[in-house]
Structures are given as C-alpha cells and as structure tokens.
Structure 1
Amino acid sequence: MAQPSRPSSEPEFERAWAHAAQVKGWMTRGQARQLWQAVRRLGTGAVVVEIGSHHGRSTLILGAAARTVGASVVAVDPFVGGPMFGGAATKDLFEKNIATAGLDDVVELVERHSTALRPEWTRPIDLLYIDGKHDYWTYTDDLRWSRNLPPGGEVLVHDCFSSLGVTLGTLAKMLCGRRYVYVDRASSLARFRLQRPTARDRLRILAQLPWFLRNAFFKILLRLRLYPVARRLGHDSRYDPY
C-alpha cells in the first residue's frame, strides 16, 4: 500500500551519507539514495531485512532511513573468517560503525548464514535487500526470503547485472519466473517488485544484458591487469564495476 507523501528528507540523507561514505564498501551515492528512497516508502513498524552487511556501509543508510519512518532493520551476516571477509574483526567494525551513527536501537544484527536462517524465519518483512554471497545457489536461495514480503513488496539486489552468479540467478528466477517485475537500477543495484510480470517486463530485464557484458569485459581487463586499457575505455578504477 502506498504511504502518504512525506516531507523532504534530503538533510537526513546527507547526514546518513556522510557517515556511510567513511565506511569501506562497494555502494555508490546513487545506490545509497536508491536504498534510502525504498525505506522511505515504508510505513511505521515496517521491517527491512539486509542480507550481507560487511562493515555496515549500506546498513547505515537503511538504518537512518528506517528511523525517519519508524521502521527497523535486521542485518543478516555470518561474518565468516578469512582474508576476504575478516571474521570477528569485521563484525567489530560493523558494530562500531552502527554505534557511532547512533543506530543501535534501529538495527538488529543476526550473525547467521542467510541460507540457514531463512527456513526458520517466521516474521513478515516489508523490504528485502540482498548483497550476500554472489554465487548462483546462495543468491537464488536468498531470493526465497521474498516469500515473507507482502504483494507489491520490493526486493533490491546489489551487483545485479554485474556479478555472473547474480546475473544468472536473475535470469533464471526473475526473467523466467512469475513473481518479480524489474523496476529500475542505480548502476548495479537493481530494484524488483513482487508482481506478476508481463512480456514487456521480461524484455526490460533482457535490455540490461549489454550493460552486464560491458561490466564482464572490464572485469576481464582488470584480471589481466590491463588497467590503462580499462581506463581508456571508461573504467577509471582498479575495482570491479559495481
């Protein structure tokens, strides 16, 4: 159900982004605004589930937006060890960032694998943000969290049309399925709505594939350490496009 129009929240967004921008992560300002606006469409008492939090860059945006509408955020992350994820040290940084932003009362951390927690989850949710493990199997399992959303509820997916596993999962479950309509995206952060898709909706997903091929091409250049070539062709970073 659409919520009544709200006063402009631009100053609150700027303050939230000022905190989030200092946290290491792979979320752009435009993607932060996409998350912010999605939460702002919710009502009082709404529950946002975030799968994959890392240092909390996106969690800070979700939590700050949730505060403005009287909602709450459940952050699901196992904080596994290893050089890529950081384990307990990453969890400590996440909790410190949430506390520094004063969002302890808005954000609830559940330190579990999303795939293990999902079958046990019984609470309804109002918004789902997926940025967990990017392989096909984990991502498509994370999409099953959407069963807890109301009709018309939104699912936001990071690295959509950028990661191979996520893109394949999107084609299998959203292009070929009957539950999701593609709405729009901010770079690799795509927004879907729980709604039966039309043929035109499916074509709009296919229209994103050239952008995915562009990203895959740049990833190959980066793996080959052809940074000057990637820069000359428009990707001015040593990080993968996101």
Structure 2
Amino acid sequence: MAKPAAQNQVHLPADFEQVFAVAEPIGGWLTVEQAFLLYRQARAVDRPGAVIVEIGSHQGRSTVVLALAAPDSTVIAVDPFVDGAMFGGLGTKEKFEANLQRAKVTDRVELVQAKSTDRRQAWERPFELLYIDGKHDYWTVTDDLKWATHLPEGGSVLIHDAFSSIGVTLGLLRWVLPGTQLRYVGRAGSLAHFEKRRPSLADRARFIRQLPWWVRNVAIKVLLRLRLYPLARLAGHHDKADPY
C-alpha cells in the first residue's frame, strides 16, 4: 500500500498493516500516517474494560482502526448521522454498520446516535482516549474539547483537521493554546495529538510553530474552491482534494 513521504523511513508493524488493509477501503479522510497514530494510541490504552470515545464516525474508517487496534476495549462512536450533502444521514449510518460487520468489530463498538454537544453535559462514563472528528465549526469544537474532562491525567486527545480547518484551529487557539489542561505533543498531517497535562512554554511554542502550515492549507483550500489548480500545485499540493 502507498505510504506518505513522512512514513517512508518509518517501519510500520505488520499488525498495523493488516489493520489498515481492512480500514483503507472505507470512505473517509484518514491517511495511513494518521491511522498509525490512532493505532498506536489505541494500543497504548488497550485493556479489558478500557473505553475509547470517538466523536464523528462517518462511514467507520477511524472506528475500525481503533476497534482493531484495541480488541479488549470498547469504542464508543458518537455521531448523529444527520442528513446533508456532507454527512449522508441514514445512508451513511448503514455504511458505517456494514463496515463494522465486514471488519468483525461490531461487538467492540457502541454507537451513540446523537450530537456530541447534546450528550456531553450528562456524560459520566470515564474513558482512556478521545478522538475528535465531529462538526468542524468553532462552537462545536469548543464544546467537544470539554469531553477531555473525563480523561485521566496524561490521557490523549487526538483532533482531526486541527491544522486544515478554520473553525477547528480557531477553537484550539482560543481554548487550548492559552489553557492549562492540554499540551501539544505533535501531529500526523493535520491530525493533532494532545495530552491532558499542564503545558509548558515549550509545548505552547511547538503548537504556534504549526500555524504557518495551517495558513498554507487554508490558502490551498481557497485555490481549490476557485479551481486554480496550477497555483495549488506551486504550493506543493498535487491533489484536487483538500489538504488534511
């Protein structure tokens, strides 16, 4: 399978290769590099009774990676499956359920069909890992970040499109960068990794250094919307799909 340049010099374990071979045909926006980050974090917390929360499941590409990486854990998938051109409504839910069946992980996944913002305030169940890939507007992301309250100290928060979406990045700049709850660890493409731990000045500086890359991605999105593909290629983007 093809690997992005960032992973060309990195040995990918055979068991991850098998996991991604199952997940890769599923529709969605998760690169092999990003799937490997999900896989490593899910493996790190896997134990009987452990819980992983995923906000935004779409057709189940990331859900399958998490469930296969953590066979002793439960993945709670929170997604309303609302209608709309980007979401697909009940048709997407049917694909999600079929993909879980095909991957043989139905018994490891609990679906919560609801908006994450509606369920958060009444949520009491602790979990070990949080993956956020829900609605990308500023207000929803701001609310989704509050799910981290239920993580243990040192628990990981993975946020997709953290440096390719205006709404997500603005939410992180407003609430995470000056905050005291999450420290920036690194990223796989635009999938950012945070830990529930008080950030140092070095952590904040490392986060700030990602912002030029975010500006570049937003500019490429504008060029793609205007169909100025040659200019996007000059910026190093050789695909008609958005950078993520």
Please classify the TM superposition score into its range, dividing by the shorter chain length: over 0.9
Residue 108 of structure 2, aligned match among 88, 106, 109: 106
Seq. identity, %: 55
Deviations 1:133-157 (A, max 9, x none): 0001000100000000001111000
Q: Unmatched 5+ residue regions in structure 1?
A: 1-7
- TM superposition shift of 1:201: 1.2
Give 1:201's aligned residue: 203
Which residue identity does 2:54 align to in structure 1? E
Is residue 141–residue 167 contact of structure 2 (8 Å, CA) maintained in 1? yes
How far off its partner does 1:223 sit?
1.1
Structure 1 residue aligned with 2:168: 166
Aligned residues: 233
* 1:41 matches 2:44: yes
Which amino acid in the other structure matches residue 180 of structure 2? Answer: R
The answer for the alignment partner of 1:5 in structure 2 is: none
Whether the 8 Å contact between 2:46 and 2:70 is mirrored in structure 1 is no
> In the superposition, relative to structure 1, how do residues 234 and 143 fare at CA in structure 2: closer, same or farther (>3 Å)?
same
Partner of 1:75: 77
Of 179, 189, 192, the residue aligned with 1:190 is: 192
SS of the counterpart of 2:144? helix
Q: Report the AA paired with residue 62 of structure 2.
A: S
Q: 1:225 Cα deviation (Å)? A: 0.5
Trace 1:1-242 onto structure 2 (pairs within 5 A). Answer: 10-44=13-47, 45-67=49-71, 70-242=72-244
Structure 1 Cα separation of the partners of residues 231 and 200 of structure 2:
40
TM-score, scaled relative to structure 1: 0.94
Distance in 2 separating the partners of 1:82 and 1:35 = 27
Counterpart Cα distance in 2 of 1:127 and 1:241 = 25
Structure 2 residue ranges without an equivalent (≥5): 1-10
1:136 partner amino acid: Y
Give the ranges of 4+ consecutive aligned residues of structure 1 lying more than 4 Å apart after TM superposition: none
Counterpart of 2:6 in structure 1 is none
Distance 2:171 2:84 in 1: 26
Amino acid at match of 2:31: T
